[in-house]
């Protein structure tokens, strides 16, 4: 009887430790999706507080005085609704993303240039996050080592992260509040990684790193390529061999980041090309971007709900080497992710013991019902597959084991 009780206690502790090491799912919300037409419009009121473990509000900016600022007139009202989601899901964490591709590097260059300017920015970040009840910040500097930026940015970016982490710890100690989270969304391109990040150092201070493992290819290319392939395609050499999810995320680990701090990027959109010839194989010549999506209105880009419309009457294919789907219709080629590729990618990231996934974006998923797969089917599928290793399914298994053990104890 006593042995059984000891076994039960041991199992219970082990199961709780396992549950504590959950896999993360961070999802971006964009504050400009509110301006889309009709059913494609997406606001903070549409966000499901239970879909992701972390929600990231994109984007805030930086002014000429090195202060963090909002970018839309209604942001502050949206912040309130966004962070009130935590009243429904007490485990949810919210972050504010600062920067983005359009924002660029100019203001970040100014921020990191001296210790004084870094301190001013960090002080404003702490105040802003506390006032609006965010749990942390996502540094979305795209990118410190981008062409035209000072070479010393690589080291200055490290200093910014080190100093911000120390300030977060000190502020939490002084105020007796929870420590603010420090996260960064970082490039998946090898050359930019090499030019921008001292990975082995900054990973010590970051709570997690979002590897933007999408947009490896797009309308800027003169040839066809999937924007988020899992693996290297046959015949890809030179720089092309680095343009895949597997290489990018593993490269961060090889540079010193713990695997558990790396979140693999997933896109809920596709990249399209106009075909220049009859060939639709990877590497075939392209003749510019595909047509604008009906709602997203960006040449060469379609949200998942627009892709589902495109797939009607299209020739659908599966790249068995890169483990991703693509489709061809009326001279247009599009690469995207679907349920099958999500399953394959999640199986891979779990086998590699990475920290989880990050989604760009919630509003690009099927919020219109075009795919007949339910609301937000891609993110829902991603959550379900990640939960195999943590969360509800594991909790269910633990409970079943608990009940079985109790039955043994009672009959012993």
**Cα 231 versus chain centre, distance:** 19
What is d(CA 387, CA 390) in angstroms, rounded to the nearest whole number? Answer: 5
Percent pLDDT > 90 in the chain is: 88
What is d(CA 325, CA 280) in angstroms, rounded to the nearest whole number? Answer: 13
- Asked whether residue 281 is domain-assigned, the answer is no
> Six-digit token pair at 379?
């993110």
pLDDT in tens, 258-313: 999 999 999 999 999 999 999 999 999 999 999 999 999 999 999 999 999 999 99
Query: Tell me, what's the pLDDT at 390?
Result: 54
- Asked whether residue 277 is domain-assigned, the answer is no
**pTM (predicted TM-score):** 0.90
Pairing of strands 136-140, 181-187: parallel
Query: Tell me, what's the pLDDT at 389?
Result: 54
Farthest-apart Cα atoms in the chain, separation:
75
- Asked whether residue 200 is domain-assigned, the answer is yes
- Find out whether 225 and 319 touch, Cβ atoms under 8 Å: no
Q: Share the mean pLDDT of the chain.
A: 91
pLDDT in tens, 229-266: 999 999 899 999 999 999 999 999 999 999 999 999 99
> Six-digit token pair at 171?
């502020």
What is d(CA 112, CA 203) in angstroms, rounded to the nearest whole number? Answer: 18
pLDDT in tens, 322-343: 999 999 999 999 999 999 999 9
What would the 3-class secondary structure string for 13-24 be? HHHHHHHHCCCE
What would the 3-class secondary structure string for the chain be? CHHHHHHHHHHHHHHHHHHHCCCEEEEEEECCHHHCCHHHCCCHHHCCCCCCCEEEEEEEEECCCCCEECCCCCHHHHHHHHHHHHHCCCCCEEEEEEECCCCCCHHHHHHHCCHHHHHHHHHHHHHHHHHHCCCEEEEECCCCCCCCCCCCHHHHHHHHHHHHHHHHHHHHHHHCCCCCEEEEEEECCHHHHHHHCCHHHHHHHCCEEEEECCCCCCCCCCECCCCCCCCCCCCCCHHHHHCCHHHHHHHHHHCCCCHHHEEEEEECEEEEEEECCCCCCCCCEEEEECCCCCCCCCCCEEEHHHHHHHCCCCEEEEECCCCEEEEEECCEEEECCCHHHHHHHHHHHHHCCCCEEEEECHHHCCCCCCCCCCCCHHHHHHHHHHCCCCCHHHHHHHHHHHHHHHHHHHHC
User: Residue 29 maps to which CATH number?
Assistant: 3.20.20.80
- Asked whether residue 287 is domain-assigned, the answer is no
pLDDT in tens, 86-108: 999 999 999 999 999 999 999 99
What would the 3-class secondary structure string for 191-209 be? HHHHHHCCHHHHHHHCCEE
- Find out whether 311 and 218 touch, Cβ atoms under 8 Å: no
Bridge partners of 359? 27, 266
- Asked whether residue 330 is domain-assigned, the answer is no
Range 315-324, long-range pairs (CB < 8 A, 24+ positions): 317/280, 319/226, 319/229, 319/233, 319/282, 321/231, 321/232, 321/233, 321/234, 322/226, 322/229, 322/230, 322/231, 322/232, 322/233, 322/244, 322/282, 323/229, 323/230, 323/231, 324/226, 324/228, 324/229, 324/230
Number of domains in the chain: 1
What is d(CA 259, CA 249) in angstroms, rounded to the nearest whole number? Answer: 9
Is the confidence at residue 117, as pLDDT, over 50? yes
- Asked whether residue 306 is domain-assigned, the answer is no
Is the confidence at residue 8, as pLDDT, over 70? no
- Asked whether residue 275 is domain-assigned, the answer is no
Is the confidence at residue 407, as pLDDT, over 70? no
Query: Tell me, what's the pLDDT at 52?
Result: 98
**Residue-range definition of the domain harbouring residue 194:** 2-267+338-411
- Find out whether 261 and 202 touch, Cβ atoms under 8 Å: no
- Asked whether residue 146 is domain-assigned, the answer is yes
What is d(CA 266, CA 212) in angstroms, rounded to the nearest whole number? Answer: 8
Query: Tell me, what's the pLDDT at 173?
Result: 98
């Amino acid at each position: 009887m006593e042995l059984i009780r000891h076994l039960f206690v041991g199992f219970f502790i082990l199961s709780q430790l396992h549950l504590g090491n959950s896999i993360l799912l961070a999802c971006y919300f964009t504050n400009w999706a509110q301006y889309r037409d009709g059913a494609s419009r997406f606001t903070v009121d549409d966000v499901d507080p239970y879909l992701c473990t972390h929600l990231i509000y994109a984007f805030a900016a930086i002014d000429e005085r090195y202060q963090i600022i909002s970018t839309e007139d209604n942001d502050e009202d949206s912040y309130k609704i966004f962070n009130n989601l935590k009243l429904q899901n007490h485990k949810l964490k919210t972050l504010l993303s600062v920067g983005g591709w359009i924002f660029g590097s100019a203001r970040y260059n100014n921020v990191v240039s001296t210790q004084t300017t870094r301190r001013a920015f960090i002080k404003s970040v702490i105040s802003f996050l506390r006032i609006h009840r965010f749990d942390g910040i996502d540094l979305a500097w795209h990118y410190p080592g981008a062409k035209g930026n000072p070479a010393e940015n690589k080291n200055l970016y490290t200093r910014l992260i080190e100093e911000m982490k120390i300030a977060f710890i000190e502020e939490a100690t002084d105020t007796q509040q929870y420590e603010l989270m420090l996260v960064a969304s970082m490039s998946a391109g090898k050359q930019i990684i090499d030019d921008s990040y001292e990975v082995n150092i900054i990973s010590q201070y970051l709570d997690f790193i979002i590897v933007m493992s999408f947009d490896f290819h797009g309308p800027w290319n003169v040839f066809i390529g999937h924007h988020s392939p899992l693996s290297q395609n046959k015949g890809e050499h030179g720089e092309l061999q680095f343009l895949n999810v597997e290489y990018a995320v593993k490269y961060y680990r090889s540079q010193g980041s713990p695997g558990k701090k790396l979140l693999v990027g997933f896109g809920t959109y596709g990249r399209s090309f106009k075909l220049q010839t009859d060939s639709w194989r990877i590497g075939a010549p392209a003749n510019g971007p595909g047509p604008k999506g009906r709602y997203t209105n960006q040449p060469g880009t379609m949200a998942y709900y627009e892709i589902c419309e495109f797939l009607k009457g299209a020739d659908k294919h599966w790249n068995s080497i890169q483990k991703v789907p693509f489709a061809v219709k009326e001279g247009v080629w599009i690469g995207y992710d679907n349920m099958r590729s999500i399953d394959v990618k999640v199986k891979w990231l779990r086998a590699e013991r990475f920290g989880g996934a990050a989604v760009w974006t919630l509003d690009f998923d099927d919020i219109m019902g075009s795919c007949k797969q339910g609301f937000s089917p891609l993110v829902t599928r991603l959550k379900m597959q990640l939960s195999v290793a943590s969360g509800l399914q594991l909790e269910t298994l633990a409970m079943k084991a608990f009940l079985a053990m109790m039955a043994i104890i009672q009959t012993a």
